[in-house]
Amino acid sequence: MIGQGILTVLSGPSGVGKGTVAKALQEKTKDMVCSISATTRLPRKGEVNGSSYYFLSTDEFHRKVDRQEFLEWAQIYGNFYGTLRLPVERALSGGKDVLLEIDVQGGLQVKQKFPEAVLIFLLPPNQDELESRLTKRASESEADIRKRLNWAEEEFEYLMHYDYAVVNDWVDEVVSKIQSIMVAEKCRTWRLK
Amino acid sequence: MIGQGILTVLSGPSGVGKGTVAKALQEKTKDMVCSISATTRLPRKGEVNGSSYYFLSTDEFHRKVDRQEFLEWAQIYGNFYGTLRLPVERALSGGKDVLLEIDVQGGLQVKQKFPEAVLIFLLPPNQDELESRLTKRASESEADIRKRLNWAEEEFEYLMHYDYAVVNDWVDEVVSKIQSIMVAEKCRTWRLK
């Protein structure tokens, strides 16, 4: 396992700021790549195929599911999301650390298939903060936001299945903590085997 | 457990540089104290009672063992070494992190009594480096050094019972890694309970 990259999963309630943290982390961390998810949902304004997501038709997605090409996948808010297995495994074997910014269902699927993965749960400073962040996301209707907030509460129940919890107060502070977690994980004796 | 300091054990073969690392770590880490061991061995040149060690007579040491005043204790090279429980528990309750620089036998005793303790094993860059460091320690005879080196090999067998392993190449690098480990451990979800 020595020389192999570490697979880190970053999850947390919608609106908690996973995307911002993942972006900042990637910019500041050498030899780390963010996995690009595949999804059947429509692109939001500014999202680019192959960069933000791989945008797939529902048919294409299901074909890849059938061929077991996904490391994890789930249906959320009526759309499918998943992580393609091959690019992740290639990066890890090449000594790169890989960050997956995925929901908790996906995170737990990854942990089952890759027990050596590191699961980090991003917590909002408080519930008001989370509502405010979601409300500022202009692309979603109020009904969508409500649906997301209810789901956020459910997501907290998954917290204890994660290895680490980091409160997203300051992005720089969160990035520094996640970098510390990655340094620490590389020193774990069971990874020497 | 929130607000409680973390108990970190630093162990490794004799001559690996635990003392230097512990000193540098204490200087650079806010809210961390090094526990002072008690011992029945004679002071080396420059060692001060109550600062380097608590130097106890064998009788005094055994009385404290009988009163269960030790968190861990062991006999090594004919002398007794131990960590008094009370000052460690006081510091942890006060939110201070406590560093114990102790041998592997002691480390495993601590882990049994404090499963939440973090055990770090300091590894020499290589065996030659370890011999060279011990040989430079002028206060010991060659026979003492041989005895210590044999024991060092045995100590490696304990490695896998430790949580983390850090190679002592550069002190600054080691200190930074141990600080990362402490940051990471404070984010572990099971410590939220």
Q: What is the pLDDT of residue B137?
A: 65
Q: What kind of fold does domain B7-192 have according to CATH?
A: Rossmann fold (3.40.50)
Mean pLDDT of A57-63: 96
**Per-position DSSP letters for B64-130, written without gaps between them:** HHHTT-EEEEEEETTEEEEEEHHHHHHHHHTT-EEEEE--HHHHHHHHHH-TT-EEEEEEPS-HHHH
- Nearest Cα to Cα of residue A175 among A21, A17, A13: A21
Chain A hits for B180, CB-CB cut-off 8 Å, are: 179-181, 183-184
**What is the CB-side half-sphere exposure of residue A26 using CA atoms within 13 A?**
15
Domain ranges of chain B: 7-192
Residue-wise pLDDT tens for chain B (193 aa)?
556 899 999 998 878 889 899 999 999 998 899 898 899 999 999 999 988 889 999 999 999 999 999 999 988 888 999 999 988 999 999 999 999 998 888 899 999 888 999 999 999 887 667 667 767 765 667 777 777 667 666 767 788 899 999 999 899 999 999 999 999 999 999 887 6
Q: Are B104 and B10 in contact (CB under 8 A)?
A: no
pLDDT single digits (tens) A84-119: 998 899 999 999 999 999 888 889 999 988 899 999
CA distance B182 to chain A (A): 8
CA distance A50 to chain B (A): 33
Q: What is the pLDDT of residue A191?
A: 86
pTM listed for this prediction: 0.82
Q: What is the pLDDT of residue B110?
A: 94
**Interface check A121 vs B, CB under 8 A:** yes
CA distance B61 to chain A (A): 34
Contact between B183 and A180 using a beta-carbon 8 Å cutoff = yes
Q: What is the pLDDT of residue A4?
A: 85
- Nearest Cα to Cα of residue B77 among B42, B46, B48: B42
Share of chain A above pLDDT 90, in %: 55
Listed by number, the residues of chain A in 133-162 with a beta carbon closer than 8 Å to a beta carbon of chain B are 159-160, 162
Q: What is the pLDDT of residue A141?
A: 73
The dihedrals phi and psi of A138, each to the nearest 5 degrees, come to: -60, -20
Angle in degrees, CA A88, A181, B71, rounded to 5: 140
Q: What is the pLDDT of residue B151?
A: 63
Query: Which H or E element spans position B171?
Result: helix B171-186
